[in-house]
Amino acid sequence: MSITTQQVPGNEMVTVIGIEGTLDASNYRAVMQAAQDAHNTGAKFLIIDLSEVNFMSSSGLVALHSMALMMRDVEAAGSEGEIIPDSGKQKRVKLLKPQSKVRDVLNTTGFIELYEIYDDLEAAINSCEF
């Protein structure tokens, strides 16, 4: 598996994390670390490019969920500083071009209802708005 991280030119708030190979227990922590590094350098939105992921295990789902939780602290907090619960689709983590096997995993587990999925990078980038 390889991971690439690219800040979108002209938009420092959006980082694209590309994953190639399998996303499973052997490497999901590396993906989460890439997301944490992007978050630490100011990313407000993550686009996870799954176009080259040919298999995702439950550990991959853990990585997606962990990234969504991490990015939620970007959302406005309540008056006491608590995190306001999310409802509906994730606003800060978008998925790009999952292969059919990965899409099947997302569908079977219900994750497909939680993430915006794009087939076009530009559309995914354009959806990143406060």
Interval 9-57: pLDDT, tens: 888 899 999 999 999 999 999 999 999 999 999 999 999 999 999 999 9
* Reported pTM: 0.88
Contact 10, 23 (CB under 8 A): no
Contact 39, 86 (CB under 8 A): no
Q: Which domain holds residue 48?
A: 2-75+90-126
| 80 belongs to a structural domain | no
For the record, the structure tokens of 111 come out as 């994750």
Q: What is the CATH number of the domain that holds 112?
A: 3.30.750.24
pLDDT tens for each residue of 78-125: 444 444 455 568 889 999 999 999 999 999 999 999 999 999 999 999
Number of domains into which the chain is organized: 1
